[in-house]
Amino acid sequence: MKKFFQEIKADIKFKGAGPGQKLTESVGEKAPKEKPSQPTVRQPRQGPTNEAQMAAAAALARLEQKQPRARGPTSQESIRSQVRKELRAEATVSGNPEALGSNTASEPKEEGSAHLVVPGVYFTCPLTGAILRKDQRDARIREAILMHFSTDPVAASIMKIHTFNKDRDRVKLGVDTIAKYLDNIHLHPQEEKYRKIKVQNKVFQERIHCLEGTHEFFEAIGFQKVLLPIPDQEGPEEFYVLSEAALAQPESLERHKEQLLSAEPVRATLARQRRVFRPSPLASQFDLPADFFNLTAEEIKREQRLRSEAVERLSVLRTKAMREREEQREMRKYTYTLLRVRLPDGCLLQGTFYARERVAALYGFVREALQNDWLPFELLASGGQKLSEDENLAFNECGLVPSALLTFSWDAAVLEDIRAAGTQPDISILKPELLSAIEKL
């Protein structure tokens, strides 16, 4: 090791001894000095031409439209990031940094941006018709249900039971127990013991008392809370006792029971936010708000439950296609998707959907906007892939998240009839009220 370091030191001294001399040269003869090199003038790099920038933008648009089939979302995202970096560098060299923003698809922006094509994800209250934000849904629906008690207390109490209590298994157990109480009254109207329900009964406390809305339901259908003496007990006990007026109308009790059993939770429905745009070269560019990318804790739990149910249902026999579809479900990141359909006249029909909704929902959405909604048509994804209305595929299984541009195409037979009639196939097909509200993208 010592010898190794000595060799390194000797090599350093040798290199620092200066330039060597030939043996034929005299000692006093100096080597000719090299002429100082002229400083090179660095030419500034020319920026990309307009044609090059347009080609780059077109390549990025194709990349944005490409569906992630073979590669996962990570590699796709890295490709997009690399392309953005290259375009940003080219724009900086050309001295026109604004060019990047005009040629590339923007990142998701926060709500309030003037360029958002949709302000956010909104919902419609089924009771009042009010348009609600995501964070307003539960509070506004609760208010609407409580206000409904003044007009229909039976229906309001049923909605309260199914909506305010989140544990669906506990709700089902409580509802079935109430139905059993009402069945006993219906089958044995003369038996007084079936018309009285002890509030402190263990079954009542564990299954019914713990649920919001159950007490309001008993009072709405004719039960009255009274104190009754108990044999061999000092103090009275609290009971629900069915009134004589309610007992005289057994068909009403039966109807209320069926309503209670068949009811579902009141949930706000997703607002489509339908908009129609004029033909635009920006059709494939989407500026989405943060609502399309964030999942709440409740939404994550629901997604996990849906996946577990699907795996359990398909665990016995699954084909290769079913396994591939299951793998795609595992990659789901989005709850909502913004879809546009380019119509024959170039206009764009836009709407918001759940990412797990089926393709048939988009067909129905388009059909509602047509003047002649009975004519058959097709919807094509990027690359000409036909989306069949009958195929039970969700948008996230087709790669149509968080946004996508599709193309409307007439059925071949319809297109032939249109041409035979001498009509141009690219005429406007939307309802007049939609065309009157057309916007610029």
The DSSP-derived string for 185-224 is HHH-TT-GGGGEEETT-HHHIIIIITSTTHHHHHHHTTEE
When pLDDT is cut at 50, 70 and 90, the band that residue 71 belongs to is: very low
Q: How much is the pLDDT for 235?
A: 86
Residues 250-256, mean pLDDT to the nearest whole number? 93
When pLDDT is cut at 50, 70 and 90, the band that residue 84 belongs to is: low
Is 158 in contact with 217 (CB distance < 8 Å)?
A: yes
Q: Per-residue pLDDT for 162 more than 50?
A: yes
Residues 7-22, mean pLDDT to the nearest whole number? 61
When pLDDT is cut at 50, 70 and 90, the band that residue 122 belongs to is: very high
Q: How much is the pLDDT for 5?
A: 56
- Pair of tokens at residue 101: 């923003």
Q: Per-residue pLDDT for 70 more than 50?
A: no
d(CA 290, CA 85): 23
Please name the residue that has the structure tokens 């969700």.
394
d(CA 359, CA 365): 10
When pLDDT is cut at 50, 70 and 90, the band that residue 213 belongs to is: very high
The values of phi and psi at residue 374, to 5°, are -90, -10
Q: How much is the pLDDT for 238?
A: 94
The values of phi and psi at residue 405, to 5°, are -110, 125
Weakest mean pLDDT among 33-42, 95-104, 128-137: 95-104
Q: How much is the pLDDT for 74?
A: 42
Residues 67-93, mean pLDDT to the nearest whole number? 50
Is 196 in contact with 237 (CB distance < 8 Å)?
A: no
Residues 79-99, mean pLDDT to the nearest whole number? 52
Q: Per-residue pLDDT for 224 more than 90?
A: yes
DSSP structural state of residue 378: E
Classify burial at 324, counting beta carbons within 10 Å of its beta carbon; exposed 0-12, middle 13-18, buried 19 or more. Answer: exposed
pTM of the model: 0.63
Handedness of CA 19, 23, 27, 30 (dihedral sign): negative
Percent of the chain clearing pLDDT 70 (strictly above): 65
Q: Per-residue pLDDT for 274 more than 50?
A: yes
d(CA 101, CA 183): 68
Q: Per-residue pLDDT for 156 more than 80?
A: yes
Is 154 in contact with 249 (CB distance < 8 Å)?
A: no
In three-state secondary structure terms, 317 is coil
User: How many CB atoms are located within 10 Å of the residue 283 CB?
Assistant: 19
Q: How much is the pLDDT for 310?
A: 66
The beta-carbon contacts of 99-107 under 8 Å, at least 24 apart in sequence, are 99/53, 103/53, 103/54, 103/56, 103/57, 103/60, 104/57, 104/60, 105/60, 105/61, 105/64, 105/284, 105/285, 105/286, 106/285, 106/287
More confident residue, 43 or 374: 374
Give tens-digit pLDDT for 281-325. 988 888 888 888 766 666 666 766 776 776 666 565 667 777 666
Is 356 in contact with 395 (CB distance < 8 Å)?
A: yes
Residues 83-98, mean pLDDT to the nearest whole number? 52
Residues 203-209, mean pLDDT to the nearest whole number? 95
Q: Which of 134, 164, 131, 123 is nearest to 146 (CA)?
A: 164
Q: Per-residue pLDDT for 85 more than 90?
A: no
Q: Per-residue pLDDT for 113 more than 90?
A: no
Weakest mean pLDDT among 79-93, 140-154, 340-354, 372-386: 79-93
Q: Per-residue pLDDT for 32 more than 90?
A: no
Is 397 in contact with 325 (CB distance < 8 Å)?
A: yes
Is 257 in contact with 183 (CB distance < 8 Å)?
A: yes
